Amino acid sequence: MTTTTTIDLKSLIQQEMPELIAIRHDLHAHPELGYQENRTNGVIRRELEQMGVEYVGDLAGGTGVLGHLPGQHDHATALRADIDALPIVEQTGAVYASQHEGVMHACGHDGHTTILVGAARVLSKIARDARLPRPVSFIFQPAEEGGAGGKRMVEEGCLNGSRLGPSVESIFGLHGWPHLPLGQVSTRPGPMLAAADMFELRIRGTGCHAAYPHVGHDPIVAGAAVVSAAQQIASRNVGPLDSVVVSITQFHAGTTHNIIPEEVLLTGTVRTLSPETQQLAQERLHEIATNIAAAHGCEAHLDYHVGYPVTRNDPKAVQTFEEIARPVMGADNVVPMEHPVMGGEDFSFYGQAVPACFFALGLIPDGQTSMPDLHQPTFDFNDDALAIGIELFCRLAMRPVA
């Protein structure tokens, strides 16, 4: 009798690898921005159809896909991949480099998509001979890069059982990690990635001749004072053991050398690890901008956009992941992540709804100590990491029901 415990998973995965690597390269060559992933959506649908995996293929604006495999337990385990690319001109020189000028898979979501397709291929084959212990939900979501596609997938019923399959009781997701060697994985309980907010600040003064500044109100001097004072949110408002980043990333003003302009525009980002600190940073930024502008005879208008929440891992889901990963990877290669990192992820929205574990999948090739970072034009996912991601996803999906 075939049971899910006697299956040689590694060899099943290896049989799929040549085709899966070809799929990864095809996705890499045809990257699409958030909510425009129509071709990618077509590849995912084609794959699920060939496997006989039931799916809803037009979620979250049309490009999100929810696949489903039945199993014995009442509740499903969900596996998630993001499928979108970035507006970057690729410089990898790969033979399968982007054919879409100015768009690139610089965050490795081509790898994530391929890993989830691979897990669906292997699990659907196993499910032909032996009923899976748990139903599995495959979540292919659009628009991770700023479009909050994950939020829409949750809102449209991917976790609560209203779309396809039963409700989800735990979810797992991964990100290729260019700071970790191939063959290692890393995660942590609690906050793993930051809340990522952004803002636009306009400071309006009174323009005048640069030779007679006393007759105007200079918004550049006011803006410069705001930039300096905003650094004190981290150094003087938030405790030294808590974390906050306030970065001002644009400062636009003026037209020429002898005119003091009417207005300056500043933009930036705020990263935090708790709702309290997020609220505090927003309030302080508002107070600093308003009052410093007023002291300069100017007026400030802050547009603050609350972005992705903190990506918070459920301690029990992390424990489940680590227990599955240790025998697969070797105990030393399941590396505790010491600190959260201040990047953001919309996997956080799933974690607000159900117990979740997000983990980092090592990508640095053997024999190297570093590789290009995420969002760099020379970044490329490591094909050797695909099989590891697929095996971990499959074992998480097939873990026995306690």
Which residues form the interface with Ni ion (CB under 5 A)?
107
341 SS3 class: strand
- Residue 189's identity, in one-letter code, is P
User: Would you say 86 or 390 has its CB closer to Ni ion?
Assistant: 86
Residue 81 or 119: the one with the smaller Cβ distance to Ni ion is 81
Residue partners of 54: CB distance under 8 A and separation at least 6:
48, 67, 68, 69, 164
**CA distances in angstroms from 12 to 8, 80, 118, 316, listed in the order given:** 6, 21, 10, 29
Q: Which is nearer to Ni ion, 193 or 266 (CB)?
A: 193
CB-nearer residue toward Ni ion: 176 or 191: 176
Specify the residue, 48 or 107, whose C-beta has the smaller distance to Ni ion: 107
Residue 44 Cβ, how far from Ni ion at the closest point, in Å? 17
What is the spatial distance between Cα 343 and Cα 7, in angstroms, rounded to a whole number?
A: 38
User: What amino acid is encoded at 321 in this protein?
Assistant: F
Comparison of 145 and 197: residue with beta carbon closer to Ni ion: 145
Residue in 126, 159, 74 with CA at minimum distance from that of residue 352: 159
Which residue lies nearer to Ni ion by CB, 111 or 216?
A: 111
Determine the residue with CB nearest Ni ion: 107
Name the residue nearer to Ni ion (CB basis): 149 or 165: 149
Q: Measured from the CB of residue 202, what is the shortest distance to Ni ion in angstroms?
A: 31
The DSSP code sequence of 218-282 is: -HHHHHHHHHHHHTHIIIIIS-TTS-EEEEEEEEEE-SSTTEE-SEEEEEEEEEESSHHHHHHHH
Min dist CB 42 to Ni ion, Å, is: 21
Q: How far is the CB of 396 from Ni ion (least distance, A)?
A: 20
- Closest distance to Ni ion from the beta carbon of 393 (Å): 17
Alpha carbon 391 to chain centroid distance? 21
* CA 157 – CA 159 distance, rounded (Å): 5
Least CB distance to Ni ion at residue 109 (A): 6
> Minimum CB separation from Ni ion for residue 345, in Å?
7
Instruction: Identify which of residues 125 and 375 has a Cβ nearer to Ni ion in the complex.
Output: 375
**Beta-bridge partners for 175:** 360
Strands of the 185-187 sheet, one edge to the other: 54-59, 64-69, 136-141, 76-82, 168-181, 356-364, 185-187, 334-336
Cβ of residue 144: shortest distance to Ni ion, in angstroms? 6
Q: Which residues pair with 263 in a beta bridge?
A: 204
> What is the CB neighbour count within 10 angstroms for residue 59?
25
Q: How far is the CB of 114 from Ni ion (least distance, A)?
A: 14
**Spatial separation of the C-alpha atoms in residues 178 and 316, rounded to whole Å:** 26
Report CA Rg, the chain: 24
